[in-house]
């Protein structure tokens, strides 16, 4: 198999870093000052026009939108008979939400904004929104590396990196997660992305991926458009639950201390 060690080793290091961060989060006091300071700084930027933009970005990481995009990626790769990338992507896309839920239940960390979600999703570490978004949009960035060349490749990869970064910031801005939750999500998603990159590397050659990549991007843009129109108002209501009249999210102080 091609490049196995170069992908498995960094995946293992990311997994070890996630375990270490999970222990720190479980202790809570070790990260309270860091989380509070960074959260306060990001949330201080809140204003109504920016709220709309941030909620729109976070919508692109909702489970329904991501599931449709993930299906488009896997089906397109299967049609192209790219068996290794299709299989690894399908496994990563399916396992990631289950792993996130298992870690959430193990760590059982409260969210900064109470009662935002129910059940296992009421727990904060790691951010499922960020983890799943980074795995799927990161997979599309890897797809771009194998499908495009030159400026188009750099723009595509840079665009997905920017989207993933904004997704993480949006979760803090909206009071849905602590910064360390987002860092944990990045580490967990990195494990999956190293495996996905390995899958793509088993099928070299940009020509076989160029047309399928264009199809997936067209489907993704269509999903984004429809999903945003249908859900933006409900999303604004959801994230406005604990917003003060001044437009600043009021974090649950008990969640920081407990």
d(CA 168, CA 182): 6
Asked if residue 250 belongs to a domain, the reply is: no
Residue 254 has pLDDT above 70, yes or no: no
With H, G, I as helix, E, B as strand and everything else as coil, classify residue 29: coil
Q: What is the pLDDT of residue 206?
A: 58
pLDDT over 50 (residue 252): no
- Predicted pLDDT of residue 52: 85
1, part of any domain:
no
Cα 206 from Cα 142, distance rounded (Å): 12
* Rounded alpha-carbon distances, angstroms, from residue 198 to 87, 169, 211: 11, 28, 21
Q: Please count the structural domains in the chain.
A: 1
Q: Classify residue 31: in a domain, yes or no.
A: yes
pLDDT on residue 240: 63
Whether 256 has a pLDDT exceeding 60, the answer reads no
H helices of the chain, in order, are: 4-27, 32-43, 48-59, 63-79, 83-107, 128-147, 150-173, 179-201, 207-239, 253-257
Res. 2 pLDDT band, cuts 50 70 90 = low
Distance CA 201, CA 127 (A): 28
In this structure, is residue 80 part of a structural domain?
A: yes
Residue 241, pLDDT above cutoff 90: no
pLDDT at residue 182 greater than cutoff 90: yes
For residue 116, is it within any domain?
yes
Q: Rounded to 10 degrees, what is the CA torsion of 190, 194, 203, 156?
A: 30
Domain assignment of residue 141, given as a range: 7-245
Q: Give this prediction's pTM.
A: 0.88
2 lies in some domain: no
Q: Is residue 117 part of a domain?
A: yes
Asked whether residue 186 is assigned to any structural domain, the reply reads: yes
Q: Is the pLDDT of residue 130 over 70?
A: yes
- Give 16-58 pLDDT, tens digit per residue: 999 999 888 877 666 888 888 898 898 888 887 888 889 989 9
């Amino acid at each position: 198999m091609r490049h196995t060690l170069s992908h498995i080793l960094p995946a293992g290091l990311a997994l070890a870093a996630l375990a270490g961060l999970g222990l720190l989060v479980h202790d809570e006091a070790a990260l309270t000052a860091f989380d509070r300071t960074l959260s306060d700084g990001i949330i201080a930027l809140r204003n109504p026009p920016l709220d709309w933009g941030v909620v729109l970005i976070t919508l692109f990481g909702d489970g329904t939108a991501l599931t449709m995009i993930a299906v488009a990626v896997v089906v397109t790769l299967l049609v192209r008979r790219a068996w290794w990338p299709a299989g690894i992507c399908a496994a990563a896309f399916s396992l990631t939400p289950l792993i996130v839920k298992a870690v959430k239940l193990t760590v059982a960390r409260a969210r900064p904004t109470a009662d935002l979600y129910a059940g296992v999703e009421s727990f904060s570490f790691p951010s499922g929104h960020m983890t799943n978004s980074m795995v799927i949009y990161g997979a599309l960035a890897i797809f771009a590396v194998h499908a495009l060349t030159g400026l188009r490749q750099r723009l595509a990869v840079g665009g997905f990196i920017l989207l993933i970064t904004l997704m993480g910031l949006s979760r803090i801005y909206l009071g849905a997660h602590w910064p360390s939750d987002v860092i944990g999500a990045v580490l967990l998603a990195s494990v999956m992305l190293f495996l996905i990159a390995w899958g793509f590397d088993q099928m070299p050659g940009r020509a076989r991926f160029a047309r399928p990549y264009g199809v997936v991007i067209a489907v993704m843009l269509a999903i984004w458009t429809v999903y945003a129109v249908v859900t933006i108002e409900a999303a604004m209501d959801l994230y406005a639950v604990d917003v003060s009249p001044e437009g600043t999210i009021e974090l649950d102080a008990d969640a920081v201390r407990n």
